[in-house]
Structure 1
Amino acid sequence: MQRGSYHIDVTDSQSKALLDAGRLHKIAADVLSHENVASAEISVALIDGETMRELNNRHLGHDYDTDVLSFLLDCEGPSEPSSNGPRGAGKTLDGEVLVSTDVATRAAVDFGWSVESEVILYLVHGLLHLVGYDDLTDDEKAIMRERERYHLSRWNLRPVYAESSELEGSDAFPAVDPTAPSFGVRG
C-alpha cells in the first residue's frame, strides 16, 4: 500500500440525505491509498437527481438520472493496467465523482441497507473508474466488483448486487431508465 498526497473535496448540494462528508473523505483517501495512487486531486459532489440528469445529458447525451458519474480530468503515470496489482499504482490523478443521492435513496430501499452505504458504494465505484477499472465487459465487471467488495469490506460493508437477488434482469443498481448502464459512464 502506498500512502500518497491526496486533496479530496466533498461538497454536498442535495437535501435528500444527511451524509457524513468527513467519512466520505476518509473512505476516498483509503481507496486511493489501497489502489497505490501516488497523488490525487479529487472532487466529490453529492447532488440531487435533477442535477445528475442535467449533467448526464449535457456530458454524455443520456437524458436520465444515474447513480454515479466520474470524470478523469488528468492522469499521469502508467497507462496500461497492471496485471497483478492495483491499477492506480504510481498514478497522479485529477478527477471528479458525482453521486446522485436520489438514486442512492431509492436503491437503498430496494437493497435493504442505508443511503449512506449506497452512496459509499457509488463513491468507491466512481473512484475505481478514475484509477483505471471499467465494467464494460463481463470480465472487467467481475474485476471491478471484486475491488468494490474489497474496499467496502474495509468499512464493514457488503454490497448486494441485483443479479444475485430477486431483481433479476436489471444490472447492478436501478436507474431511472432501464436501458441505462448499471453505473454511470466514465467520461
Structure 2
Amino acid sequence: MVTFNYETEFKLDHENLLEYWVDTIVLNHDYSIGEINYIFCDDAYLHKLNVEFLQHDTLTDVISFDNTLGKLVSGDIYISVERVADNATDFKEDFIDELHRVMIHGVLHYMGYKDKSEEEKKKMRAAENKALAAFN
C-alpha cells in the first residue's frame, strides 16, 4: 500500500495514478509492495529530521527510512517540496518531473540501488529515468 501524507499546504492531485506507478516499478523489479508512506513537508521539517536522525545539519530534498524485509518494500519517504522546487529551478526541470524523480529515488534505494560512487549514481539515474519514462 502506498499512502500520501502532508505536513504542508502542498497536495498531490493524482495520488491513485502515482500509487499505481510506484506499485508497477516495484513489481517490475521482482519485489512486492508492503507499506510505503510518502510524507510531503517543508525545508524546516525535513532539516529537523536530518539533524535528529542522521546528524546532518544541511537541507535536503528527501530522506528515506527503509523498513524493507527481503522482497517486501516498505518505508517512510520524507520529501521537502520547497527543496524539490528549488532543485527543479536549478536543474531547469519541471517541478512535477523533479518531484516524481525524488519519489521513485527513495523506492529504488529500498530495492538495493545506491548512489555513493559515480558508478552507483549512473545506475540509480538510469533506473530513475526508466521509471519516469514508464510514468509518462
8 Å CA contact retained: 2:39, 2:78: yes
Structure 2 residue aligned with 1:83:
none
List 4+ stretches of structure 1 deviating above 6 A: none
Secondary structure of residue in 2 paired with 1:154: helix
Structure 2 residue aligned with 1:141:
121
List alignment gaps of at least 5 residues for structure 1.
1-6, 77-90, 157-187
Larger-Rg structure = 1
List alignment gaps of at least 5 residues for structure 2.
none
Q: TM-score when scaled to structure 2?
A: 0.89
8 Å CA contact retained: 1:10, 1:44: yes
Q: Which amino acid aligns with 2:72?
A: T
Structure 1 residue aligned with 2:133:
153
Change (3 A) 1:153 1:74: closer
Please point out which of 12, 19, 23 is paired with 2:12.
19
* In the alignment, structure 1 residue 126 sits paired with structure 2 residue 106: yes
Secondary structure of residue in 2 paired with 1:98: strand
Q: Distance in 2 between matches of 1:24 and 1:48?
A: 20
Deviations 1:119-157 (A, max 9, x none): 11100111100111101111111111110110011123x
Q: TM-score when scaled to structure 1?
A: 0.67
Q: Which amino acid aligns with 1:41?
A: E
Question: Which protein has the bigger helix share?
Answer: 2
Please point out which of 30, 38, 41 is paired with 2:35.
41
1:39 shift after superposition: 3.4
Structure 2 residue aligned with 1:28:
22
1:112 shift after superposition: 2.8
8 Å CA contact retained: 2:23, 2:33: no
Q: Distance in 2 between matches of 1:128 and 1:114?
A: 21
8 Å CA contact retained: 2:5, 2:38: yes
Q: Which amino acid aligns with 1:45?
A: I
Q: What root-mean-square deviation, in Å, do the aligned CA atoms of Structure 1 and Structure 2 show?
A: 1.6
1:72 shift after superposition: 1.0
